[in-house]
Amino acid sequence: MTTVRNPILPGCHPDPSICRVGDTYYLVTSTFEYLPGLPVFRSHDLATWEQVGHVVDRPGQLDYAGIASSGGLYAPTLRHHGGLFWLVCTLVDQDDDARGGNFLMTAEDAAGPWSDPVWLGVSGIDPSIFFDDDGRAWVHGTRLARDPEWFHQTEVWVRELDLERRTLVGPEHVVWTGALKGAVWAEGPHLYKVDGTYYLLAAEGGTEIHHAVSVARADVITGPYEGNKGNPVLTHRDLGRGADVVGVGHADLVRTPDGDWWAVLLGMRPYGGYHYNLGRETFLVPVSWEDGWPVFAPGTARVTPTVDVPTAGPPPAGGAGVGDASGVVPSGDLRWTAVRALPEDVAVRRDEGWVLPLRPATLADVDVPSFVGLRQQHRDVDVRAVLEAAPGPGQEVGLAVRQSEQHHVLLHVTGDQDGRSAGRRRAVAVRVAGSERTVLGEVPLQGDSDRVTLTVSARGQDYALGVQEEGRSPVLVATADGRWLDSVTTGGFLGLWIGVYATSGGRPSTSTATVVRVEYVPLD
């Protein structure tokens, strides 16, 4: 037995869904407006995970144009049946309810390539798919109740899927509206069949402090469903905002080849007060069965910082698990993402770095900026970017700590503000909060070389923004408070990304900037 760190997927990896094929486990999580979308992870022991691909990884699969932050891809479900991986998910455009919807994709290999989406023609979010042992398949999801008894009451529907035509058929059945009267957002539903009984797992209470896991069961898949008298069967809401892990919920079950049961679920780790800059992360808990019901985290009913996993082998040499890598992040690393576009559509891969065109779009625009970034996966981390750039007035090349287009912090190199001093450059730190753009600090660059190193050093909620010219000592440009950026303060569903960006400030440009390399070095 090996003691494994929780979360198993640190950083912004919400809404996990898991399945097993033989002795191998596969897992996907939500990605919202970032591309490539829906990362696919693989494990042989539930403890050590490696990323093997993405579901949405080529142009034309989905249209992200104009989708604002915290829109995009919500809550996928991954299953395997008949030699294929099946995935259902929702594309959400929060400004246009008629756009997007629930869709189905398939692949022979979880690493890809995945099919183009097949749209299911049903509203709501968080679809899931269940394959019964009689050969029939069922899609289920959640939406706002059509005849609600209270505000934000939701309902779970179930409908049969024709596997040949990939279309929903037959009548729709509303099977669940929440375990508790007055409970909001009964969502993230998953169906299972255990010893001839159907079980419905659902999240409840909203994906914040009141998040919870509830369960119901029925003799037939279309119900009626009987709720567990102990619902919610897992929650940290009673621990308050000072708990090490809060907001646990959105669980999915998996059974090992030896017959043991486990659940993956999301949760958040607050620090520096009730703030969780790393976003909603993926945790692992054991599950047992008593009196015909699943018991989550038996003996503690808590998601703990470590968990004993009997199937886990020794940690891989060199720390190869998700979140363990340290050092240079090559441009081919699967962790790189861009906003509303694939990284290769906004930048050119170059060995350990990138060539970034200075596009007119800024990070404040609901557009496609020249930005490629990495999830912040550690509270204490140094992210360093070695750049070669000679931006002119109004142009920026640098590092960004991104929450959304509304909220981010920039550390960039720019040309002289009024253009009177040709070749003069400055390192500038800026906070963007809605329509306000506040300069936190600036430092004139003294050398003639175009090469500089910019650094974001996070120590808890303190973000130090520094610059170093070749042959010179590093200089602190400014500090930023991470509490400005987390989703508790700003809203939305995302953790923080740190990455490199370039912009011509709204004007056409043929200029480029070279990112020689980017290093991600965690301290914890």
Per-residue pLDDT, 315: 63
For the record, the structure tokens of 9 come out as 């997927």
CA 284 – CA 459 distance, rounded (Å): 26
Q: Which of 292, 127, 94 is nearest to 202 (CA)?
A: 127
CA-to-CA dists, residue 419 to 416, 422, 440, angstroms: 5, 6, 21
Per-residue pLDDT, 420: 39
- Report, as ranges of residue numbers, the positions in the chain whose pLDDT lies below 50: 318-320, 419-422
R_g of the chain, CA atoms, integer Å? 23
- Residue 194 falls in which region: left (phi positive, over 0), alpha (psi -120 to 50) or beta: beta
Q: Which of 237, 245, 323 is nearest to 280 (CA)?
A: 245
Q: Assign 3-class secondary structure to 32-83.
A: ECEECEEEEEEECCCCCCEEEEEEECCCCCCCCCCCCCCCEEEEEEEEEECC
Q: Which of 194, 125, 118 is nearest to 156 (CA)?
A: 125
- Active site residue: 160, 187, 204, 469, which one? 187
Q: What residues pair up with 373 in beta bridges, in sequence order?
A: 337, 499
DSSP string, 233-291: SEE-GGG-TTSSSEEEEEEEEEE-TTS-EEEEEEEE---SSS--TT-SEEEEEEEEEET
CA 82 – CA 265 distance, rounded (Å): 26
CA 243 – CA 411 distance, rounded (Å): 33
Question: Is position 187 annotated as part of the catalytic site?
Answer: yes
- Interstrand relation of 281-290 and 293-296 (parallel, antiparallel or unpaired): antiparallel
Per-residue pLDDT, 312: 81
Q: Which helix (H) or strand (E) holds 519?
A: strand 512-522
DSSP string, 400-453: EEES-SSEEEEEEEEE-SSS-STT-EEEEEEEEETTEEEEEEEEE---S-SEEE
Residues in the chain: 524
Q: Which domains does the chain have, with CATH numbers?
A: 12-244 (2.115.10.20), 327-522 (2.60.120.200)
- Residue 234 falls in which region: left (phi positive, over 0), alpha (psi -120 to 50) or beta: beta
For the record, the structure tokens of 112 come out as 């890809």
Per-residue pLDDT, 422: 47
For the record, the structure tokens of 25 come out as 């486990």
Per-residue pLDDT, 112: 97
Question: Is position 15 annotated as part of the catalytic site?
Answer: yes
Q: Which of 329, 319, 347 is nearest to 384 (CA)?
A: 329
Share of the chain above pLDDT 90, in %: 90
Cβ-contact 183, 148 below 8 angstroms? no
Cβ-contact 341, 37 below 8 angstroms? no
- Active site residue: 15, 93, 160, 252, which one? 15
Q: Which helix (H) or strand (E) holds 306?
A: strand 306-309
Tens digits of per-residue pLDDT, 418-430?
Answer: 543 445 899 999 9
DSSP string, 142-197: EEE-SS-SSTT-EEEEEEEEETTTTEEEEEEEEEES-SSTT----EEEEEEEETTE
Dihedral of CA 116/121/126/127: which sign? Answer: negative
CA 180 – CA 377 distance, rounded (Å): 34
Per-residue pLDDT, 97: 72
Per-residue pLDDT, 1: 64
Per-residue pLDDT, 186: 92
